Amino acid sequence: MADSPQEPHDELGQVDDHEATETISTGTLPDAETIRRLLRQAHRRYAGNDDGAVADHIPALADADPGLFGISLTSIEGDVYSVGDTAHTFTIQSISKAFVFALACRELGHEPVRNTVGVNNTGLPFDSVMALELNGGHPMNPMVNAGALATSALVPGEDLEAKWNFIRDGLSRFAGRRLELDEDAWASEQAANQRNTGIARLLESHGRMDFDAADATDLFTRQCSLLVTAEDLSAMGATLSAGGVNPVTGDEVVGPEVARDTLAVLASTGMYEASGDWLFEIGLPAKSGVSGGVVTVSPGKGGLATYSAPLDDAGTSVRGQLAAGFLSARLGLNLFASRPAAQRAARGD
């Protein structure tokens, strides 16, 4: 009998230990047929979930189809497994922050970016001004908007267009194809960008930004308006999983040290003030965006991505987090899961 779309014990997609095919962080992904079966099962299980609401604080996002739902997994070997609406394009939004951070680290190095942007969770909302004021104008991490604005301003380029070309080219290499800008989304977000502009000017006033605040805001808004699919996001996640090499194209986008640093920041801050809950329940570095995308990364295994526009109160896709929890347990992705030594010996591991 098929699984019902919602079950009482399945709040974050978690399953009982005896239901999981694999529950350890080491090793490899299951065989291809098992992966396909579990992706289909996750899609069937949560496609009927009608919880959440489509974001409307940015006009261009309000028209998203709430019924669309796609799940894609790309392994570090470059195998792609997809089910549902994984070719549908949507704007990358805040998910871009993780990959721009990686690009900045590649160019500037571990310590300079850490000293400028920070790596600690604020415990406050992603667009908090208070977090800046409480820390002397220092952006605490690159996943909140203050840190993302500072990170985008750090990338190489003498002017706005040069920096934009660097970011667009870098994110395209992560995805394995040329990413296009959604001009309508960019214009829509620019019209509602007063808070980000204020944050950028506050950073500038504290001497935390050596680039024009208005241009930095425009740059950040453009990167958030790049169009991606769930398959693109899974490839981007898999690139971080594979030590910075895109497993589909073979292109080394960043080095293994940068991939490691990016995943560490994603684990601790990627889901903002809910990062601890996410790690406790799902156990993977992750980043979500208000357009409905979610990317999770299992180091050494692959990248898992989902798309579904309805969001919970924290701004994360409802179906996306349910699917991530379900598949993390079933595919053995959780970083913190292990098998007792006696069981390993009995299996010959």
Is 137 in the same domain as 218? Answer: yes
Cα–Cα distance measured from residue 334 to residue 23, given in angstroms and rounded to the nearest whole number: 7
CATH code of 210's domain: 3.40.710.10
Is 86 in the same domain as 131? Answer: no
pLDDT tens track for 217-258: 999 999 999 999 999 999 999 999 999 999 999 999 999 999
Q: Is residue 3 part of a domain?
A: no
pLDDT per residue of the chain (349 residues) written in tens, 0 to 9: 333 333 333 445 444 443 444 445 667 899 999 999 999 999 999 999 999 999 988 888 999 999 999 999 999 999 999 999 999 999 999 999 999 999 999 999 888 887 777 666 555 555 545 555 545 555 567 788 888 888 999 999 999 999 999 999 999 999 999 999 999 999 988 887 877 888 878 778 777 788 898 999 999 999 999 999 999 999 999 999 999 999 999 999 999 999 999 999 999 999 988 899 999 999 999 999 999 999 999 999 999 999 999 999 889 999 999 999 999 999 999 999 876 655 555 565 5
Is 137 in the same domain as 285? Answer: no
Is 205 in the same domain as 141? Answer: yes
Domain C-terminal end among 185, 206, 224: 224
Domain C-terminal end among 189, 206, 224: 224
Q: Is residue 116 part of a domain?
A: yes
Is 219 in the same domain as 262? Answer: no
Cα–Cα distance measured from residue 308 to residue 43, given in angstroms and rounded to the nearest whole number: 11
What the block records as the tokens of 150 is 């500072």
Is 329 in the same domain as 258? Answer: yes
Is 257 in the same domain as 320? Answer: yes
User: Could you tell me the residue range of the domain that residue 110 belongs to?
Assistant: 94-224
Residue 334 annotated as binding site: no
pLDDT at 201: 82
Residue 189 annotated as binding site: yes
pLDDT at 255: 97
Domain C-terminal end among 193, 224, 255: 224
Give the total number of structural domains in the chain: 2
Asked if residue 112 lies in contact with residue 101, where contact means CB atoms within 8 angstroms, the answer is no
Is 232 in the same domain as 191? Answer: no
Asked if residue 117 lies in contact with residue 143, where contact means CB atoms within 8 angstroms, the answer is no
Residue 294 annotated as binding site: no
Question: Burial code of 151-179, b = ≥16 C-beta within 10 A, e = fewer?
Answer: bbbbbebeebeebbebbbebbbbbbbeeb
pLDDT at 346: 57
Output the pTM of the full model: 0.88
Residue 272 annotated as binding site: yes
The closest alpha carbon to 320, from 23, 69, 41, 67, belongs to: 69
Is 58 in the same domain as 130? Answer: no
Is 310 in the same domain as 250? Answer: yes
